[in-house]
Amino acid sequence: MYVAGKSSSCCHTPAGSGRRTIFTTPLWWTAVSCILLCLFGQLPGCWSDDDEVPLPLPDPVFFKVVRPSKLAYIYKALPARDFGSTFGHYPRPTYLVPGEPRKMCTPSEFVEAHHNMDGATVLVERGDCSFLTKALVAQEMGAAAILIYDLDADNFSQFVDMVDDKTGRGDDVTIPVAFIVGTDGYHFSNAFVEDALLEQIDIVMPLNITSEPNFMGKWPPWALY
């Protein structure tokens, strides 16, 4: 394993060993030696054909709440790295409903829950099962997308990089999946608790924030993105 700050043996020789170092060996020979050792797998820190090259961190997506007015701000979400579909490029109105069950690790036994989630963006709490499992269960219950929020209600800035759980089911997820910070999740879920008549939170997602005048002033007051 390559350790930052450590030099590879072909590029550095301990003093007093009697062998030449990079300062006495022609630079071209040092470079050629490193390349050959790397190609034959003898140099730590080099790649191999068996290595998986991780996908880059996805770009964040933004959305805004239209109703209720107390939540009418612009929010940030981080899509899953290597499973699920994209949120697209054009703003579209949709609505957010709470997951049932809340952690979405198994499908709800209630028919009404399936009806409420059909075509909706579902708000799901992190924990007890993988992100991929939550996405598959929400998809099975008819969700059009899923937002997973952190358990820490005081987390107002840290996003989780959601990755495939390596169970061979990643390609089965066909809906968009994204993570939101715990503070946002708390305010969304708490809105349903405080108002029993609130059936959904109306949102626009994805949102092109460059078309939103003064969007920097529209972040929620509790967030620090």
- Dihedral of the alpha carbons of 189, 194, 199, 205, in degrees to the nearest 10: -40
Helix (H, G, I), strand (E, B) or coil at 65: strand
Q: Please give the average per-residue pLDDT across 86-103, as a whole number.
A: 93
Same domain, 148 and 121: yes
Q: Residue 47 sits in which domain range? A: 1-51
Task: Give the lowest-confidence range in 11-20, 66-75, 200-209.
Answer: 11-20
Point out the least confidently predicted range of 31-40, 65-74, 76-85.
Answer: 31-40
Dihedral sign for Cα atoms in the order 182, 184, 186, 192: negative
Distance CA 38, CA 23 (A): 21
Is residue 173 scored above 70 in pLDDT?
yes
201 in the same domain as 160 = yes
Same domain, 20 and 129: no
Instruction: Give CA–CA dist 196/82, Å, rounded.
Output: 36
Query: Do 189 and 151 share a domain, yes or no?
Result: yes
| Among candidate residues 51, 70, 87, the one where a domain is terminated | 51
Q: Is residue 185 part of a domain?
A: yes
Q: Rounded distance, CA 176 to CA 187, Å? A: 22
What is this structure's pTM? 0.74
Q: Give the chain's domain count.
A: 2
Do 89 and 125 sit in the same domain of this protein? Answer: yes
